[in-house]
Amino acid sequence: MITIQKYIRPQTLEEAYQLNQSKRSRIVAGMLWTRLGTGSVGTAIDLWDLGLDTIEETDEAFTIGAMVTLRQLEQHPGLNAYTQGAMKNALQDIVGVQFRNMATAGGSIWGRYGFSDVLTLFLAMDTYVELYRGGMVPLEEFARRKADRDILVRLIVKKTPGHFVYTAMRNQRTDLPVLTCAMARVGEEYRACLGARPARAVRYRDDRGLLADGITTESAAAFAQYLADIVPTESNLRGSAQYRTHLIRVLAERALGELGGMEHGN
């Protein structure tokens, strides 16, 4: 269990940033993962008072504060309308309502956890991370970076027209996923985001043009097989690499079938 020497709720982002430059400081978000850690934290920096707990929607984008909870995301009518319900599908099996009332969007994305349903779905959208010092960074790039001492302030999701499907495999509902899969067509681009491999989620495109003529039974099978061939997987206690590779093909093909149905108005 961690121990904390000092707890501070900064009143400005600059104050939070300065406090966070010490290696003994740590930003606390939902506290759910942090709580399970070990060691000593000099200063726990709680962003609770900075007004980062709202979702703003305009015609162009969603602006999601770092302290917005997963439950807020799950219940947001605009996000669910934009993603055709994929937002709720991605979040509803994360432990329980109480947990999702605490876990935050910022904490989930900042942690870049391998098992993250949140990272997998947000990668499928045109998502940007607003860092206090680092400015706006595409989530795809941010997800590859190592953690530093900056602060994630907001997520920006551009409302590029698209269709989204989210699916995941769990050994038991509310457990961590064995594999996560978000399939999307955003603008003219098909995207497959795969996480819990068990490494963090990555985004793949249809580089070979397998879906260039649209989603059919044959093209979906070909793209799913392509993903199974190229996406790296590893083993852990939830499943073997071989099983995960098999799941990639199955979940991707199912998700593409659903995506194809959306494109044809079904």
CB of 91 to another protein, least distance (A): 11
CB of 236 to another protein, least distance (A): 18
At its nearest, how many Å lie between another protein and the CB of residue 32?
5
Q: Vertex 133, ends 74 and 67: CA angle to 5°?
A: 25
The closest of 109, 17, 26, 36 to 67, measured between CA atoms, is 109
The half-sphere exposure of 55 on its side-chain side, counting CA atoms within 13 A, is: 20
Of 17, 172, 43, 201, give the one whose Cα is nearest residue 108.
201
How far apart are alpha carbons 235 and 220 in whole angstroms? 26
Asked if 182 contacts 121 with a C-beta cutoff of 8 angstroms, the reply is yes
Minimum gap (Å) between residue 75 Cβ and another protein: 9
Closest to 120 measured CA to CA, from 214, 55, 184, 34: 184
Smaller CB separation from another protein, 36 or 212: 36
Measure the CA–CA gap between 35 and 31, rounded to whole angstroms. Answer: 6
Among residues 26 and 249, whose Cβ is nearest to another protein? Answer: 26
Please tell me the distance from the alpha carbon of residue 29 to that of residue 41, in angstroms, as a whole number. Answer: 14
Minimal distance, residue 26 CB to another protein, in Å? 12
Of 219, 238, 235, give the one whose Cα is nearest residue 227.
219
Cβ closest to another protein, residue 10 vs residue 162: 10
Q: Cβ closer to another protein: 151 or 176?
A: 176
- Whichever of 115 and 190 has its CB closer to another protein, that residue is 115
Could you tell me if 150 and 133 are in contact, meaning their C-beta atoms sit under 8 angstroms apart? yes
Nearer to another protein, 46 or 206 (CB): 46
For another protein, the binding residues (CB under 8 A) are 2-7, 28, 30-32, 35-36, 41, 44, 46, 48, 92-93, 95-99, 101-102, 173-174
In angstroms, give the least distance from the CB of 118 to another protein. 16
